[in-house]
């Protein structure tokens, strides 16, 4: 398809003098595909001559930003289409490039400026009242600084908007990714957002990592820190696994094998008691009764289920009472793993109990982490942190596009 702009008076970009037509230049542009078929536009681009003899700009070509960025190959429409494919259809940049009939670098060079401009827009941080934070590993190679040939820290800290909208739905919107899993990484990001942002945050959810808690205490002094329910329940489940393996070794002298009672129930011990079938309950009871030492696993499992029941209770006030009993009783438990968990919960008591007042969880943050993992696999990994950040902000809904 051949296109050209409508005739119009055009001023010289240097001096503003009305220019005169000089010639045409044919430019090939790649447009969004039509019915899965690549589309090519032939743009008869106008060239102009400045009439002012003293002007240093003798000739220049027209620019139409709504059509294509300067010196770009993809049209603006094609770039927006590519962004939509990556964000909504979970497409890879290479897959989009194949559909357009171009290379990866051509597609990324067209969409990267759009994503970077959206990421630099501070208005996207407005209206955040519940803030989640969590870490994830973005690479498994050298941790040397980028200037020394590495990729920097393996861990990234991600901030997620967990504010509830007018329909009662959690936004679960990725706000940013910063390098490192430290107090400084989180605190520096909060400081960069300014007082208006931090003053608007009422609730801050986190996993039991003291570095993040210190950053919240320093930068979000008026916010309520809430220990994430998922991580707390996971700690209880971890205790069950640890005790089961320890008792297995003590009673048999080896790791679990087929036919061992405790080995046969390792999976169902991780499930909630309310989800077990009668057959599964019978298997658990039979395994616990197989040896006197298995009573330790039984007690640990009951403690983990009690911890789970605090979060499962319909009445938050009743759930809080269960949680308070847990904090009071677990540290004195004869099972070392449960006693250690009790000391952890006692240390985090305020943030642990805050859930039953706010109902806030880091579930939306974990959902975003799942999307990040998905797109990292789709991309076969990314070696450049800034490209990684922009890609994940796009799929995490953090950009106003």
Name 156's bridge partners.
136, 179
- Mention every residue, 6+ apart, whose C-beta is less than 8 A from residue 73: 28, 29, 30, 102, 106, 110
- Tokens read off for 159: 């901030």
pLDDT band of 256, cuts 50, 70, 90: confident
Which segments of 59-207 are extended strands (E)?
59-61, 130-137, 155-161, 173-179, 203-206
131, 162 contact by CB (below 8 A): yes
Residue 245: which pLDDT band, with cuts at 50, 70 and 90? very high
Q: How far apart are CA 286 and CA 274, in angstroms?
A: 18
d(CA 87, CA 396): 8
Tens digits of per-residue pLDDT, 32-70? 998 888 899 999 999 999 988 888 888 998 888 889 988
The secondary element (H helix, E strand) that includes residue 117 is: helix 104-119
Q: Which residues pair with 224 in a beta bridge?
A: 203
Q: Is the dihedral of CA 257, 262, 267, 268 positive or negative?
A: positive
Q: Say yes or no to pLDDT of 94 above 90.
A: yes
Nearest to 219 by CA among 245, 199, 239, 243: 199
CB 225 within 8 A of CB 216: yes
- Interatomic CA distance for residues 393 and 375, integer angstroms: 11
Tell me which fold the domain 123-228+361-396 belongs to: Nucleotidyltransferase; domain 5 (3.30.420)
Lowest mean pLDDT among 141-150, 188-197, 232-241: 141-150
Rounded Cα gap, residues 255 and 247, in angstroms: 10
Q: What is the DSSP string of 272-308?
A: -GGG--HHHHHHHHHHHHT-GGGHHHHHHHHHHHHHH
**In a 3-state reduction of DSSP, which class is residue 134?**
strand
C-alpha span between 133 and 161 (Å, rounded): 9
Collect contacts of 54-59 with beta carbons under 8 A, ≥24 apart. Answer: 54/15, 55/12, 55/14, 55/15, 55/17, 56/14, 57/12, 57/13, 57/14, 57/15, 59/22
Alpha helices, DSSP H only, in 150-292?
183-193, 195-200, 210-219, 229-252, 261-264, 278-289
- The per-type count for the chain, helices as H runs and strands as E runs, is 15, 9
Annotated domain spans of the chain: 2-120, 123-228+361-396, 229-358
Query: Is the per-residue pLDDT at 148 higher than 90?
Result: no
pLDDT average, residue stretch 328-333? 95
29: phi then psi, degrees, rounded to nearest 5 = -120, 145
What are the pLDDT digits (tens) for 8-39? Answer: 888 898 888 888 888 898 999 999 998 888 89
CA distance 132 to 373: 18
For the whole model, what pTM was predicted? 0.86
Asked if pLDDT for residue 133 goes beyond 90, the answer is yes
* Number of Cβ within a 10 Å radius of residue 298: 15
What confidence score (pLDDT) does residue 85 get?
Answer: 95
Q: Is residue 143 very low, low, confident or very high in pLDDT (cuts 50, 70, 90)?
A: confident
Is it the case that residue 146 has pLDDT exceeding 90?
A: no
pLDDT of residue 176: 96
* Residue 3's pLDDT band (cuts 50, 70, 90): confident
Read off the DSSP letter of residue 36.
T
pLDDT at 145: 84
């Amino acid at each position: 398809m051949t296109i050209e702009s409508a005739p119009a008076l055009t001023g010289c970009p240097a001096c503003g003098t009305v220019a005169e037509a000089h010639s045409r230049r044919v430019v090939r542009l790649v447009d969004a595909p039509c019915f899965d078929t690549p589309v090519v536009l032939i743009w008869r681009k106008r060239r102009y001559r400045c009439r002012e003899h003293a002007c240093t700009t003798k000739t220049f070509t027209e620019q139409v930003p709504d059509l294509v960025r300067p010196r770009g190959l993809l049209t603006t429409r094609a770039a927006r289409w590519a962004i939509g494919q990556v964000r909504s259809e979970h497409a890879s940049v290479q897959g989009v490039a194949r559909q357009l009939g171009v290379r990866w670098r051509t597609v990324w060079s067209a969409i990267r400026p759009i994503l970077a401009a959206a990421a630099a827009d501070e208005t996207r941080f407005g209206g955040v009242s519940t803030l989640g934070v969590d870490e994830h590993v973005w690479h498994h190679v050298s941790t040397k600084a980028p200037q020394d040939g590495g990729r920097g820290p393996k861990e990234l800290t991600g901030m997620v908007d967990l504010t509830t909208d007018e329909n009662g739905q959690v936004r679960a919107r990725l706000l940013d990714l910063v390098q490192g899993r430290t107090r400084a990484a989180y605190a520096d990001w909060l400081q960069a957002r300014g007082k208006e942002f931090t003053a608007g945050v009422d609730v801050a959810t986190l996993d039991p990592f003291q570095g993040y808690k210190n950053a919240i205490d320093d930068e979000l002094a008026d916010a309520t820190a809430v220990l994430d329910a998922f991580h707390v329940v996971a700690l209880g489940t971890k205790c069950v696994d640890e005790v089961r393996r320890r008792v297995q070794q003590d009673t048999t002298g080896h790791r679990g094998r087929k036919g061992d009672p405790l080995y046969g129930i390792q999976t169902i011990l991780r499930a909630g008691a309310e989800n077990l079938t009668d057959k599964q309950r019978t298997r658990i009871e039979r395994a616990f009764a197989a040896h006197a030492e298995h009573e330790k696993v039984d007690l640990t499992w009951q403690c983990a289920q009690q911890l789970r029941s605090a979060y499962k209770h319909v009445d938050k006030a009743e759930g809080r009472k269960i949680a308070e009993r847990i904090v009071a009783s677990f540290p004195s438990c004869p099972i070392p793993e449960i006693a250690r968990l009790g000391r952890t919960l006692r240390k985090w008591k305020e943030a642990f109990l805050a859930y039953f007042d706010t109902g806030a969880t880091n579930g939306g943050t974990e959902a975003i982490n799942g999307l990040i993992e998905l797109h990292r696999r789709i991309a076969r990994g990314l070696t450049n942190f800034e490209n990684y950040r922009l890609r994940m902000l796009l799929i995490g809904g953090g950009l106003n596009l």
